[in-house]
Structure formats: structure tokens, C-alpha cells
Amino acid sequence: MAEIYVGTSGYSYDDWREHYYPPGLNKGKRLEFYAREFSFVEVNSSYYTLLRPEVFRQLAAKTPPGFIFTVKGYKSFTHERGAEVAEDVKKFCFSLAPLLEKGKLGAVLLQFPYSFPGRPENKNYLAFLREALGSLPAVAEFRHQSWVREETWEFLRGLGFGYVCVDEPELKGLVGRAAVCTAPVAYVRFHGRNREKWWRHEQAYERYDYLYTEDELREWMPGIRSLAGEANQVFVAFNNHYRGQAVHNARQLKQMLGL
């Protein structure tokens, strides 16, 4: 049975000061506080900028042995996909060296947009990324429903990419809630089920403004346990971060899983 890690997508949100972090806690101490309770976290700032190795060295130093980071791929990999991608991947891989040295890297998270459907040219692009990332463990998250078929699972298994299972609103065109294992690293992301704000919102956080009920989380128990029976590691990340709702649901799921 694989080890299951439950955490959140990011940890340094200012609005968590009212809902999770104690009053007066220094911003630089947030990760240490978070790591007392959770065993892994997604680094999302790496999507917006190519971080320096020193940043990851400092993050590793603030966390106890056994704490794991998954790192979101830079936006040029997944959303822009321009001529500079190869060079950006090299810089990105170089930056992760401190996490690899400390055994704290769980996976690289490649989150593709809805505008990246399951076409042959996009499969070729995934193959290019797999080669560019070398031996780094990586998982791919899709938003477009065209990826949801057995052909995709087999393709990802051939590349050694994990499939990111997602919980999101049941809306036409989205991928749905399949629990599928395609690599030694299995991954689940909870985005919330805010149907009204998924496509139409003024601020990005509105899409993820959602608090799961215990019954909704329990729907995933068979799928998570199935993934744990096939993979070596299972990461479960809550991205419904607004007002610390991700923390509340992560705690609930940990309790359900007996972690």
C-alpha cells in the first residue's frame, strides 16, 4: 500500500491569517507552521516565475525530514508553449536540485489549460516534455474532456507520466472525476464544485471558493484507496484555498484516511 500524502495547493495566502495562521505569525514562518500538521504541499509560485535553487534550498530547510514538495511547472511549459520552452525546462530542472538532494521532491505538476485538447500534436508535445524533464517524476493535469479515454491512460503509462485525477464541477467539456493510476506517483486535486463561478468570475480565487461536505469527500475514498494499491506514492492536494477552506477539508480527509 502506497503512502498517502494530504496537503494543500500553496500555503502562503494572506487570507489564511484569519482562518488558519495565528495572529502575528511572521510570513516567513508560515511554512514551518504548516509543516507541523501536513506532510506535503504544492509549490504554485513556480508557475509564475522560474525560481532560483536557493528558494527551494530555503524551503527544504524549513521543513522536517519526510516532508515532500510537489512543484508546478512554469507557465511556458503548459500555457505558452513557445520557442523558449526547452531552455526554460533546463532552468527549472536545475532549480530543483536542492529538493532532490534532500529527498523532498514528490513530482513536477504540469497543469494544462482547457485549450489543450487530446490531439496528436499535443501528445507529441507531452513526449517532448517527458524527454526534457529527464528522470524527474511528473504528473499531467488536463481540463479538456477529450483526454478522458483508455488511449490516454496507455499513452501516459508509456511516457511515465502520472495522470492527475481531479474533483471539479460536473460541467460539459471538463474531464470528470476518474480515479486512474498511470505511474508510480498518483495524484488527486480537489478544485471545488463551484459551478456558478467556474467559467464566469472576476477574480481567479472565486473559481475555487468552495467547502466540501464530508459526504462529498467520502465519495473519493474508494478511488484514493485504489490509487494507493497501485502506486508507490499518492498525493492529494486541496486547491479550494479561499479563506482556508482547503485546510479544513484536508484535515477532514486525513481523519477519514486515518493519517
Q: Indicate whether 91 belongs to any domain.
A: yes
Q: Indicate whether 233 belongs to any domain.
A: no
Q: Indicate whether 232 belongs to any domain.
A: no
Q: Indicate whether 58 belongs to any domain.
A: yes
In order, the DSSP letters of the chain are: --EEEEEEE-S--GGGGTTTSPTT--GGGHHHHHHTT-SEEEE-GGGTS---HHHHHHHHHTS-TT-EEEEEPPHIIIII--TTHHHHHHHHHHHTHHHHHTT-EEEEEEE--TT--S-HHHHHHHHHHHHHHTT--EEEE--SGGG-SHHHHHHHHHHTEEEEEEE----TTS--------SSEEEEEE----HHHHSS-SSGGGGG-----HHHHHTTHHHHHHHHHH-SEEEEEE---GGGHHHHHHHHHHHHHT-
Q: Indicate whether 49 belongs to any domain.
A: yes
The tens digit of pLDDT for each residue in 101-123 reads 999 999 999 999 999 999 999 99
Q: Indicate whether 234 belongs to any domain.
A: no
The tens digit of pLDDT for each residue in 128-183 reads 999 999 999 999 999 999 999 999 999 999 999 999 999 999 989 999 999 999 99
Number of domains in the chain: 1
The tens digit of pLDDT for each residue in 137-148 reads 999 999 999 999
Range of the domain at 134: 3-227+239-257
Q: Indicate whether 222 belongs to any domain.
A: yes
pLDDT at position 164 = 98
Domain CATH number, residue 74: 3.20.20.410
Q: Indicate whether 216 belongs to any domain.
A: yes
Mean pLDDT rounded to a whole number for the chain: 95
